[in-house]
């Protein structure tokens, strides 16, 4: 029996800071857990009303040791309908975003942003007909 979905689960130094960062990418807290009044875990996802679309999901939990950016061996790949608009929105919010690139596998464009714990988030746009340029 194959799995039907997969959700990244990242250990982070500050859950509230991660919620704020991923909130700028459109994820919202759907569930959370507190230990002794301290936020210890959160499940975030993009709201979707279409059961055929799974949307984006991420779980974050309080790290039990320091997060070392250079040792993060995973990256998160996300898709957007308008890379140029999201890039501009993140930049206007003071988030350091990389230049929009156009590799062979993402001709409409992709850019990199680093989350507060050093995880690499690549954001791509599949539809070349949409307005992204670079």
Whether residue 56 is found in the same domain as residue 6 = yes
Q: Which of 29, 12, 91 is nearest to 123 (CA)?
A: 91
Angstrom distances, CA of residue 53 to CA of 5, 57, 96: 11, 12, 29
- Do 58 and 81 have their domain in common? no
CA dist., res. 88 & res. 124, Å (int): 14
Quick one: tokens of 122? 């690549």
Same structural domain, 52 and 91: no
| Structural domains in the chain (count) | 2
Range of the domain at 118: 74-134
What's the Cα-to-Cα distance from 51 to each of 46, 58, 73, 105, rounded to whole Å?
13, 18, 31, 27
Full-prediction pTM beyond 0.85? Answer: no
Q: Which of 31-35, 45-49, 51-55, 130-134 has the highest mean pLDDT?
A: 31-35
Token representation of residue 95 = 């988030």
Task: Among 65, 86, 118, identify where a domain stops.
Answer: 65
Q: Write the pLDDT tens digit of every residue in 59-102.
A: 999 999 988 888 878 889 999 999 999 999 999 999 999 999 99
User: 101 and 52, same structural domain?
Assistant: no
What number of other Cβ atoms are within 10 A of residue 19's Cβ?
A: 19
52 and 107 in a single domain? The answer is: no
Which of 65, 92, 112 represents a domain boundary (last residue)? Answer: 65
Q: What is the CATH number of the domain that holds 22?
A: 3.30.1900.10
Contacts of 40 (CB under 8 A, 6+ apart): 15, 33, 34, 61, 62
């Amino acid at each position: 029996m194959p799995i039907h979905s997969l959700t990244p689960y990242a250990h982070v130094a500050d859950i509230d800071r991660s919620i704020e960062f991923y909130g700028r990418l459109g994820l919202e807290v759907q569930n959370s857990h507190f230990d002794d009044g301290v936020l210890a875990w959160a499940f975030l996802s993009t709201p979707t009303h279409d059961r055929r679309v799974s949307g984006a999901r991420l779980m974050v939990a309080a790290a039990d040791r320091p997060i070392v950016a250079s040792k993060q061996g995973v990256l998160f790949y996300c898709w957007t309908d308008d890379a140029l608009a999201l890039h501009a929105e993140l930049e206007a919010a003071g988030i350091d975003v990389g230049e929009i690139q156009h590799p062979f596998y993402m001709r409409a464009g992709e850019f990199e942003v680093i989350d507060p714990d050093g995880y690499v988030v690549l954001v791509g746009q599949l539809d070349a007909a949409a307005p992204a340029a670079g």
